[in-house]
Amino acid sequence: MESMVMSNKQVIFRDYVTGFLSESDLLINSTTVNLKVPAGSMTALVKNLYLSCDPYMRNRMRKPDPSSPATALSFIPGKPISGFGVSKVMDSGHPDYKEGDLLWGAVGWEEYSVITPIPNLHFKIHHTDVPLSNYTGLLGMPGMTAYAGFYEICSPTKGETVFVSAASGAVGQLVGQFAKLMGCYVVGSAGSKEKVDLLKNKFGFDDAFNYKEESDLNAALKKCFPVGIDIYFENVGGPMLDAVILNMRPHGRIAACGMISQYNLQVPEAVYNLWLITYKRIRIQGFNTIDYLHKYSEFLEFVLPYLREGKITYVEDVADGLESAPAALVGLFHGKNVGKQLVVVSRDLD
């Protein structure tokens, strides 16, 4: 078999991280890759087009700890990090994928990856009338996260009050729009005037506030929700979660999607009002999107018509080139992104 060797730029994980992630924790390296997979192999060689920057990746940078499930899939120092991406198949020994196919799923942070396609972890892209970059967000893992977290965990009904933190991010912007489609009253929090304006003017939230300008989060929430909160879509943790619990209505539901404010802290912040969940009969449920990926086709049937009709919109923050990937990922934890953060590795489909 004739081999075709190409250079392959990668983002390498330097070592386990304590404290805040910095760009120096991720190194750009170049190696080579064979563009032909071995005969009889079940693997596929893919060219990565777009990579998804997601907060959960910070937890994979912790030193493995048997007592913590968050570190079960820690990255390996000296190896490329991985995440979700959009890719084109260049060569394949897998019966379900052929050269030229487009897919989204788990890939390395590199120009080319050799993957073994796994059901419910890699998905062939059939709908190309929408931007391919959407499969890092709206039509990818963040979209499924919003869909599963809101509809499956929160069990919303028309007229309920919904609060979304980190509301302009990859997941939050969709949760708010899903809630509006249900006929709910929706408020979001974000970290800048630009993001607050986006929530109210583009995504259709009923109200929004900049949490950095609020000295009393409890009072800010009381102003937005005079009758209390039925559903909280939790993305940040810490003091915001504490204030939300004070404002939850009886039998309220909290979908714990993430807690980005805590991921870089060596000592997590305490939540002082947790005792109120007993008296208010509040249900707090954490979830992992992987548990719901078998519903992906159902999700596409739901969301694509809304997208094509312009009833759902989506904002992406695009970083160009693999060299920009470390800064893009680090920026998530400082609120630098406006919308879904992704990295363009290549726009060349050839």
Domains of the chain listed by start with CATH number: 5-137+315-344 (3.90.180.10), 141-290 (3.40.50.720)
Averaged pLDDT, 132-159:
97
For residue 2, what pLDDT is reported?
55
Q: Distance of alpha carbon 240 from its chain centroid, rounded?
A: 20
DSSP, collapsed to helix, strand or coil, labels residue 43 as coil
Tens of pLDDT, residue by residue over 220-263, are 999 999 999 999 999 999 999 999 999 999 999 999 999 999 98
CA angle 127, 130, 133 (to 5 degrees): 105
For residue 198, what pLDDT is reported?
97
User: What does DSSP say about strands 340-344 and 44-52: parallel, antiparallel, or unpaired?
Assistant: antiparallel
Q: Does 232 or 38 have the greater pLDDT score?
A: 232
Query: Residue 49 pLDDT > 70, yes or no?
Result: yes
For residue 348, what pLDDT is reported?
83
Q: Which two tokens stand for residue 13?
A: 């994980």
Query: Residue 290 pLDDT > 60, yes or no?
Result: yes
Sign of the four-CA dihedral 51, 52, 58, 61: negative
Query: Residue 333 pLDDT > 50, yes or no?
Result: yes
Can you give the length of the chain in residues? 350
Q: Decide: 273 and 245 in contact? Cβ < 8 Å.
A: yes
Averaged pLDDT, 3-14:
92
CA angle 86, 89, 94 (to 5 degrees): 115
Query: Residue 1 pLDDT > 70, yes or no?
Result: no
C-alpha separations of 337 from 245, 252, 326 in Å? 27, 30, 13
Distance of alpha carbon 318 from alpha carbon 123, whole angstroms: 22
Tens of pLDDT, residue by residue over 75-130, are 999 999 999 999 999 999 999 999 999 999 999 999 999 999 999 899 999 999 99
Query: pTM of this prediction?
Result: 0.93
C-alpha separations of 58 from 14, 106, 350 in Å? 13, 16, 33
148: DSSP letter:
I
Q: Where are the beta strands (DSSP E) in 211-338?
A: 229-234, 248-256, 283-286, 316-320
Averaged pLDDT, 323-338:
96
Tens of pLDDT, residue by residue over 166-208, are 999 999 999 999 999 999 999 999 999 999 999 999 999 999 9
Query: For the chain, what is the mean pLDDT?
Result: 95
For residue 266, what pLDDT is reported?
87
Q: Which amino acid is at 75?
A: F
Quick one: pLDDT band at residue 39, thresholds 50, 70, 90?
confident
Quick one: pLDDT band at residue 67, thresholds 50, 70, 90?
confident
223 Cβ contact list (under 8 Å, min separation 6): none
